[in-house]
């Protein structure tokens, strides 16, 4: 073929190619196929779902206990890194930032997969330098992580949330529906580099942050309580210890602590046992603290009077073929002294005077055998069998706090009823819930749940219980200088669940009380599981009670008459002389 022929052929081929392209373009523009169109649209389609920040958890004074923080997931695009980046420099920077050894990071970058996850949920502040370091191939994906700035303080109440933004325990779980925000949605188009084309944004729903949950907890009272528990643990090495502080008039929980404790930020590395909120998850036989309720019920029903005398059989009494013992043998004791000296025999005889049905009904009225309704997950209801299942001696054992299982919150709630003129209040943990626009969506108010005893009986009981912390009582170590404290000690042998019966040398020690006696403001319960070296509630738990009470009354400005000091003018130095 000559030159001219070749030129013509080339021209024809070129013309054919360009004509073909032209025709294709015309068809694409004028009458494109549906499949082609959808492929193009799919490539340009942009749909971004954004998670609203999880709400915060705050104490009654607005101190933040849980909040969401900005974090990043760190990935490596190995192809890009090897082709365009400086692998040695990047590897060194990543190791330094994340605290990994150079070898560890180097091993991760093995080149087998294009994308490798280096670490997820890294605090943005920590990774800031790496982000600004112009490391080619590093990808920083936005994420949110839960932060607990108070650490282990109030861990069992707050609980924890998973990284997916769902509550796992505590308030994080019960209030999950409020804490979770509403997800945002953005639909539009993107360019070839994946950048959003703002003009093509068709749907733009802003994510809505979750609501803030305000607790009834006070971080200072919580701190006093946890500190007192730490001291108790140091002195007596129990298997567990827990305490609650409650506002008597409103039922609000001011502090709730449990040991062993954990840091919610590291819940994944915590033993399940440590995450157990023993104040509501652990049921036990309360021992002598139950005598306060039995005697209150007997007084209220007119079965006994405060000055009635009972024969306490010098410490040993056989009833129903079984012997009942007192730790200190006593002869004749008044009802007041039975409570002060915590006589098992005296309490058993008082219960017998009431009869099975009345004892059962009274304990029910005090809230035993059913959940208190506190806004925390997994609350136990305890065990209180009906009289049909009782043996002959059951009533005598119930009077001293055996054959009944309670949680410490139930026990405190019952004692608070005595302190609150016979009115039982629902324990409150959530004060209010405020949404992201500042509107209150939920508010808790004090709620009465029953009146197990009359106000007159409550008044008498308060004075009887005050004698427990006076010289000669079992709870003298709970006395707070300048205040009259009412309370009751409890020491119960632990139930042996494997072999039946009771352990000979394992005890649950407790002290429950309130102050000031004449106008109670706060009630406190301290429990220790199997303390070492001593096992009486008056020895193990009463000092912790005093430590909490002593600091709390001064912090909350509770005067010896039980009123905030700003209301008080000419208080006598000793209000109990009245």
Partnered with residue 74 across adjacent β-strands are: 119, 140
Q: What is the distance between the alpha carbons of residues 83 and 452, in angstroms, rounded to a whole number?
A: 79
Q: Which is nearer to another protein, 216 or 344 (CB)?
A: 216
Partnered with residue 488 across adjacent β-strands are: 512
What residues have CB less than 8 Å from 572, skipping those under 6 apart? 578
Minimum distance from residue 198 beta carbon to another protein (Å): 3
Q: Which is nearer to another protein, 5 or 438 (CB)?
A: 438
Minimum distance from residue 128 beta carbon to another protein (Å): 11
Minimum distance from residue 545 beta carbon to another protein (Å): 17
Q: 40 in helix, strand or coil? A: helix
Angle at 451 between CA 450 and CA 456, to 5 degrees: 165
Minimum distance from residue 571 beta carbon to another protein (Å): 5
Q: What is the distance between the alpha carbons of residues 429 and 168, in angstroms, rounded to a whole number?
A: 17
Minimum distance from residue 436 beta carbon to another protein (Å): 12
Q: Which is nearer to another protein, 272 or 566 (CB)?
A: 566
Minimum distance from residue 531 beta carbon to another protein (Å): 24
Minimum distance from residue 127 beta carbon to another protein (Å): 12
* Residue spans of alpha helices (H) in 210-355: 219-236, 278-281, 289-300, 335-341, 344-354
Judging by DSSP bridges, how do beta strands 502-515 and 486-495 pair with one another? antiparallel
Minimum distance from residue 421 beta carbon to another protein (Å): 14
Q: What is the distance between the alpha carbons of residues 426 and 25, in angstroms, rounded to a whole number?
A: 76
Q: Are residues 225 and 548 in contact, defined by beta-carbon separation less than 8 angstroms? A: yes
Tokens of 4: 């001219």
What residues have CB less than 8 Å from 207, skipping those under 6 apart? 50, 51, 52, 53, 181, 182, 183, 184
Q: Which is nearer to another protein, 355 or 482 (CB)?
A: 482
Q: Which is nearer to another protein, 125 or 322 (CB)?
A: 125
Q: Which is nearer to another protein, 507 or 514 (CB)?
A: 514
Minimum distance from residue 88 beta carbon to another protein (Å): 31
Q: Which is nearer to another protein, 441 or 568 (CB)?
A: 568
The beta-carbon contacts of 257-263 under 8 Å, at least 24 apart in sequence, are 257/154, 257/156, 257/222, 257/225, 257/226, 257/229, 258/156, 259/226, 259/229, 259/230, 259/233, 261/152, 261/155, 261/156, 261/226, 262/152, 262/155, 263/148, 263/151, 263/152, 263/155
Q: Which is nearer to another protein, 158 or 354 (CB)?
A: 158
Q: Which is nearer to another protein, 447 or 572 (CB)?
A: 572
The 10 Å Cβ neighbour count of residue 272 is 8
My answer on whether omega of the bond before 260 falls inside 30° of 0, hence cis, is yes
Q: Are residues 138 and 90 in contact, defined by beta-carbon separation less than 8 angstroms? A: yes
Partnered with residue 73 across adjacent β-strands are: 141
Q: Which is nearer to another protein, 272 or 570 (CB)?
A: 570
Minimum distance from residue 555 beta carbon to another protein (Å): 6
Judged by the rule CB under 8 A, the positions of this chain that interact with another protein are: 53, 63-65, 67-70, 124-125, 147, 149-151, 153, 196, 198-199, 219-220, 223, 481-483, 551, 554-555, 559-561, 563, 565-571
Q: What is the distance between the alpha carbons of residues 251 and 229, in angstroms, rounded to a whole number?
A: 22
Phi-psi region of 403 (alpha: psi -120 to 50; beta: other; left: phi over 0): left
**247 closest CA partner among 63, 427, 449:** 427
Residues in the chain: 578
**342 closest CA partner among 290, 409, 392:** 290
What residues have CB less than 8 Å from 546, skipping those under 6 apart? 477, 478, 479, 480, 485
Minimum distance from residue 61 beta carbon to another protein (Å): 10
> How large is the greatest C-alpha to C-alpha distance in the chain, in angstroms?
139
Minimum distance from residue 478 beta carbon to another protein (Å): 16
Minimum distance from residue 266 beta carbon to another protein (Å): 15
Q: Which is nearer to another protein, 437 or 569 (CB)?
A: 569
Q: Which is nearer to another protein, 531 or 575 (CB)?
A: 575
**66 closest CA partner among 56, 80, 54, 79:** 56
Minimum distance from residue 274 beta carbon to another protein (Å): 18
Q: Which is nearer to another protein, 50 or 283 (CB)?
A: 50
What residues have CB less than 8 Å from 48, skipping those under 6 apart? 185, 186, 187, 196
Q: Are residues 530 and 508 in contact, defined by beta-carbon separation less than 8 angstroms? A: yes
Minimum distance from residue 564 beta carbon to another protein (Å): 9
Q: Which is nearer to another protein, 37 or 571 (CB)?
A: 571
* Strands (DSSP E) found in 370-500: 424-425, 430-434, 440-443, 448-450, 486-495
Q: Which is nearer to another protein, 148 or 282 (CB)?
A: 148
């Amino acid at each position: 073929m000559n030159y001219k022929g070749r030129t013509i052929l080339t021209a024809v081929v070129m013309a054919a190619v360009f004509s073909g392209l032209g025709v294709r373009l015309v068809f694409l523009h004028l009458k494109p196929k549906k499949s082609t169109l959808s492929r193009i649209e799919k490539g340009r389609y942009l749909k971004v779902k954004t998670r609203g920040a999880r709400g915060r958890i705050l104490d009654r004074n607005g101190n933040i206990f849980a909040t969401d923080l900005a974090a990043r997931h760190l990935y490596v695009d190995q192809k890009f890194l090897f082709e365009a980046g400086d692998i040695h420099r990047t590897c060194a920077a990543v190791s330094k930032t994340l605290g990994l050894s150079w070898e560890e990071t180097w091993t991760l970058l093995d080149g087998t997969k294009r994308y490798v996850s280096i670490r997820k949920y890294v605090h943005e502040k920590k990774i800031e330098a790496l982000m600004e370091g112009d490391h080619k191939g590093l990808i920083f994906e936005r994420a949110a992580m839960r932060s607990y700035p108070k650490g282990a303080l109030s861990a069992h109440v707050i609980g924890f949330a998973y990284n997916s933004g769902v509550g796992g325990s505590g308030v994080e779980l019960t209030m999950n529906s409020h804490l979770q925000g509403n997800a945002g949605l953005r639909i539009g188009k993107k360019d070839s580099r994946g950048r959003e084309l703002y003009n093509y944004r068709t749907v733009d729903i802003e994510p809505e942050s979750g609501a803030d949950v305000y607790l009834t907890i006070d971080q200072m009272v919580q701190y006093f309580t946890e500190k007192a528990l730490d001291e108790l643990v140091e002195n007596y090495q129990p298997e567990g210890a827990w305490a609650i502080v409650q506002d008597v008039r409103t039922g609000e929980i001011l502090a709730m602590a449990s040991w062993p404790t954990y840091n919610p930020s590291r819940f994944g590395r915590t033993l399940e046992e440590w995450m157990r909120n023993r104040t509501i998850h652990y049921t036990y036989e309360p021992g002598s603290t139950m005598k306060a309720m039995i005697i209150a019920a007997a007084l209220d029903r007119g079965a006994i009077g405060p000055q009635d005398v009972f024969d306490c059989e010098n410490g040993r009494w056989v009833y129903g073929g079984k012997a009942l013992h007192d730790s200190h043998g006593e002869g004749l004791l008044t009802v007041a002294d039975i409570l002060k000296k915590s006589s098992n025999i005296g309490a058993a005889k008082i219960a017998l005077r009431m009869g099975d049905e009345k004892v059962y009904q009274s304990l029910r009225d005090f809230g035993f055998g059913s959940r208190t309704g506190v806004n925390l997950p997994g609350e136990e209801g305890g065990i209180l069998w009906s009289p049909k299942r009782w043996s002959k001696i059951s009533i005598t054992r119930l009077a001293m706090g055996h054959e009944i299982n309670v949680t410490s919150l139930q026990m405190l709630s019952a004692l608070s009823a005595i302190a609150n003129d016979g009115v039982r209040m629902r324990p409150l943990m959530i004060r209010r819930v405020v949404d992201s626009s500042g509107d209150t969506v939920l508010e808790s108010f004090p709620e009465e749940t029953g009146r197990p005893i009359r106000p007159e009986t409550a008044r008498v009981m308060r004075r009887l219980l005050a004698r427990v912390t006076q010289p000669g009582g079992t709870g003298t170590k709970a006395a707070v200088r300048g205040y009259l404290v009412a309370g009751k000690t409890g020491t119960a042998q632990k139930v042996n669940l494997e072999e039946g019966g009771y352990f000979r040398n394992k005890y649950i020690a407790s002290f429950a009380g309130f102050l000031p006696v004449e106008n109670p403001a706060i009630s406190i319960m301290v429990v220790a599981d199997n303390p070492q070296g001593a096992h009486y509630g008056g020895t193990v738990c009463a000092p912790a009670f005093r430590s909490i009470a002593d600091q709390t009354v001064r912090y909350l400005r509770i005067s010896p008459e039980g009123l905030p000091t700003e209301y008080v003018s000419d208080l006598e130095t000793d209000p109990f002389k009245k």
